[in-house]
């Protein structure tokens, strides 16, 4: 819906109290009517979906980009402008109805992970 309210929920991932990734989920009020009230206390999007009856879900095709951090991302991830970030963007869908549950953008500090392909 064009006039649907969209909520942005961010989670900062830490390792030993050091920020390594930022997960951002965009969800609509029409899909989750209580999201405005529930959002501040939410620890896991997947747990939230299960509590609302969406028990089987998965990601659609993901897009991977290498980007350099914005000023906001440098601040929150405590990195310089020269640290590349890996950005993964995808949609999470209910497997039965194919309904989009969220649009997800995750950015990872590239200097904090080892990637096995």
Q: Alpha helix (H) ranges present in the chain?
A: 35-38, 45-51, 71-77
Copy the structure tokens of residue 116: 């096995």
Place of tokens 């970030």: 85
Of residues 1 and 14, more confidence is placed in 14
Main-chain dihedrals φ then ψ at residue 97, nearest 5 degrees: -100, -15
Task: Look at 1 and 64; give whichever has higher pLDDT.
Answer: 64
Find, among 2, 22, 26, the residue nearest to 112 by Cα.
Answer: 22
- Predicted confidence at residue 44, as pLDDT, reads 87
Contact 56, 80 (CB under 8 A): no
Per-residue pLDDT reduced to its tens digit, 18-48: 999 999 999 999 999 999 898 888 888 999 9
How many alpha carbons lie under 13 Å from residue 97 in its C-beta half-sphere?
8
pTM score, whole prediction: 0.86
Residue 12 scores a pLDDT above 80? yes
């Amino acid at each position: 819906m064009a006039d649907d309210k969209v909520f942005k929920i961010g989670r900062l991932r830490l390792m030993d109290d050091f920020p390594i990734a930022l997960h951002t989920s965009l969800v609509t009020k029409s899909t989750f009517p209580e999201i405005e009230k529930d959002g501040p206390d939410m620890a896991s999007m997947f747990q939230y979906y299960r509590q609302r009856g969406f028990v089987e879900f998965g990601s659609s095709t993901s897009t991977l980009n290498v980007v350099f951090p914005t000023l906001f991302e440098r601040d929150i991830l405590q990195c310089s402008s020269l640290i590349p970030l890996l950005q993964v963007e995808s949609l999470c869908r209910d497997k039965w109805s194919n309904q989009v549950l969220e649009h997800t953008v995750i950015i990872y500090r590239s200097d904090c992970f080892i990637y096995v392909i």
